Structure 1
Amino acid sequence: MSAPLRVAAIGGFHVGGRPHRVEGAPTRVAAFAPGGPARPFDPNGDYVAGQMYVQYVRLADPATPVPLLLWHGGGMTGVTWEDTPDGRPGWHDFFLRAGRDVYVSDATERGRASWFPYPGVMPGEPVLRPLQEMWDTFRIGPTEGYPLRRPHPGQQFPIAAFEGLARQIVPRWPGNEAATSRAYAALLDRLGPADVVAHSQGCGFAIAAAQGGPARVRRLVLLEPSGAPDHAGIDLALAARVPHLVVWGDFFGASPVWRQYRAAFERYADALRAAGGRVDVIDLPALGITGNSHLLMMDRNGDAVAALVAEWLTSGQLANPPAPL
């Protein structure tokens, strides 16, 4: 059993958000408690929307005063970093035991951040991932393998816990990136400079945050970024002062979508290097670490991946640098 952690504080807070007014929405009748009377409800009025929720654990004797921020991906919440779907401790626990104060976010519209008024503020409708889409997008197995849960050979994600993963998925609004970026910026205004570890869609927000330079982001870890901004017209001078580390898993040959995402990020990385920046790469199969899905922090070898990330965050160097790509 692991030794108890010496914790100084546990808490949470909301950050960001703006006032919004809803007008012209129809009044409806609803019962708000089981067995209670139905009554008219008027949704018109003032709201606060666009905030995010952050939960933190601060240690009594952290190894560094720099906080570690964990940012989740699309259709997910901060649960990404907590216990894995099959019940193992996740990266939240790993980095606390590595001596880091850890802040886990539920981004705008997700989890405890709360929703925008809908309908009223957000255009369009939210989307929710079906299991079949998750199977493909997270590179768990071939499309035809979904009905019988037949994964890619050597898959590190715990297949028996796939439905447990599905329980974590929440709605998301495509096109809500501006509000989410504002909330992350407000978080860094409050806590920065910080080390940021981001996953998938969260990497885009982290890349944008790094354009504020090392006064906001000290070091940036990108776990399988789902693309990157078009660097044309962006001044990368400050971002180039923030060391970047990108980590890639396995099974890209089976996913045309992910090959496109990866190519988009590599174009951005090339532009950042041309501006004098540093982008280190951990390609896990190139290191002989095979079988990883898109969900690196949930895979059975997730602690081994976390150890590589922790070494880079601590030393600024790769423990076992892979051959150049």
Structure 2
Amino acid sequence: MISSNLFSLVSLVSVALAAADCIGINAIAPGCTSREALHSRDLFYVGGRYVAGAAGNLTYDQLYVEKLTPATGVKQSKPIVLFHGGGTSGVTWLNTPDNRKGFASHFLDYGYQVYIVDQTSVGRGSAEDLNDYVMRIGSTAEITEKGFTAPELTDAYPQSQQHTQWPGTGVRDDPIFDAFESTFIPLTSNLTVQELSMRSSGCQLLSLIGSSFLISHSIGALHPFLLSNDCPSLVAGNINLEPGNIPFQSYVGNATSSVGRTSARPWGMTNTRVTYDPPISNSSELTYELIGDDTSAKRSCYMQTGTIRKLPAIAKVKYVALTGSASPHITYEHCVIDFLHQAGVAAEWIKLADRDITGNGHFGYLEKNSAQIAGVVHDWILANC
């Protein structure tokens, strides 16, 4: 009996100590309180196809989807679907690395039906065909520090010195940084195959849930862009948190120097075919040239030349990009907006600093003022329903 009582006392003390330090991974302790919105959760796999193999028929290209329903009931007329960026998975929309309320919870509080996907080949998304989905690293601690959590230390572009919103030091061995870095997982190096599977399964998802607002981060913006091309009537709005990346190029590892720029996205913003007018049969028919002086504060961009081709299907969907004042994206997001305007898409650009939301890096939706960013998105949705 004494031994049992002693064990109980030790357990209570351990829980109490853990509760006093619920930082980063420590919040896994039973005594740490969740700040997430109350909701019910269901999961589904959408799309996919059977492929015959030596062991039998396997399912390829299915999309993992979580359905979160606010405990207080759905109050908004259209759902939202959250598309994660490269190197992360759908969990990035849940609680933040320092255990504040996650982005999904803000929208549950607003009364939205929330859907979270793991893109095909990533996380819980299908990756059966390993010949197609050759994986690469999600991020290193060094890439994360320089591009996401502490760009001010590298000082690769002048706006980096405005970065103030990351919780913690933003460098390795800080518990919040380590919790964040642990969320990075391998992603496919074959974006062409991933885009094709996401186009099919994504439109199938929207056909099941109806017209929805699509919210994406970074390279995850590829997929709502393609769905706007393929099933525009089912996309109520395309909302991009720092869309990745730039027309006809990629900034590898979120680099800002010209050395980090590589050829990519032969269809302008995508690796796979989108509908242009006048029509083209091959991406090689698009002609473009580098425009503008290339400085660390504002990068040059590739823009169409000759016959300027429009994106008529994509232009049917309302598009907005949100950019943090201290992110590398503030130096080149204009390339995305200018390219879309040239292609006939009435793209809106919200610089968060213009809304008195300052100091944000590339992962603003995880930073200290993430609730304010969610508020800007919510207001945009209400204004564009």
Query: What TM-score bracket applies, with the shorter chain setting the length?
Result: 0.7 to 0.9
Aligned-pair CA distance for 1:214: 4.5
**Aligned residue among 76, 85, 88 for 1:76:** 88
**Aligned residue among 166, 172, 179 for 2:187:** 172
**Aligned residue among 60, 67, 83 for 1:56:** 67
Provide the residue aligned with 1:287 in structure 2. 355
Provide the residue aligned with 1:133 in structure 2. 143
Aligned-pair CA distance for 1:79: 1.0
TM-score with structure 1 setting the length? 0.77
Residue 152 and residue 132 in structure 1: after superposition, are their counterparts in 2 closer, same or farther (change >3 A)? farther
Provide the residue aligned with 2:284 in structure 1. none
The equivalences for 1:80-229 within 5 A come to: 80-118=92-130, 121-122=131-132, 124-138=134-148, 140-142=150-152, 144=154, 152-158=161-167, 159=170, 160=174, 161-175=176-190, 176-212=194-230, 214-227=232-245, 229=267
Q: Does the CA-based 8 Å contact 1:249-1:283 persist in structure 2?
A: yes
The residue type equivalent to 1:280 in the other structure is E
Aligned-pair CA distance for 1:143: 6.2
Aligned-pair CA distance for 1:230: 1.3
CA distance in 2, matches of 1:217, 1:208: 11
CA distance in 1, matches of 2:143, 2:214: 28
Larger of the two Rg values belongs to structure: 2
Aligned-pair CA distance for 1:189: 2.3
Q: Does the CA-based 8 Å contact 1:226-1:258 persist in structure 2?
A: no
CA distance in 2, matches of 1:4, 1:173: 30
TM-score with structure 2 setting the length? 0.66
Q: RMSD of the TM alignment (CA)? A: 3.0
| Segments of 4+ moved more than 4 angstroms | 1-7, 142-145
**2:365 counterpart SS class:** coil
Q: Deviations over 1:251-295 (max 9, x none)?
A: 35xx4x8745x24412332135xx3x4322210123332210111
CA distance in 1, matches of 2:325, 2:56: 49
The residue type equivalent to 1:295 in the other structure is F
Q: Does the CA-based 8 Å contact 1:85-1:164 persist in structure 2?
A: yes
Residue 4 and residue 77 in structure 1: after superposition, are their counterparts in 2 closer, same or farther (change >3 A)? closer
Provide the residue aligned with 1:278 in structure 2. 346
Provide the residue aligned with 1:230 in structure 2. 268
Unaligned runs of 5+ in 1: 24-43, 146-150, 318-325
Provide the residue aligned with 1:268 in structure 2. 339
The residue type equivalent to 1:12 in the other structure is L
Percent of residue pairs identical: 24
The residue type equivalent to 2:326 in the other structure is F
Larger proportion of helix: 2
Q: Does the CA-based 8 Å contact 1:213-1:242 persist in structure 2?
A: no
Aligned-pair CA distance for 1:219: 1.3
Q: Deviations over 1:39-63 (max 9, x none)?
A: xxxxx65421211111112246322
**1:246 counterpart SS class:** strand
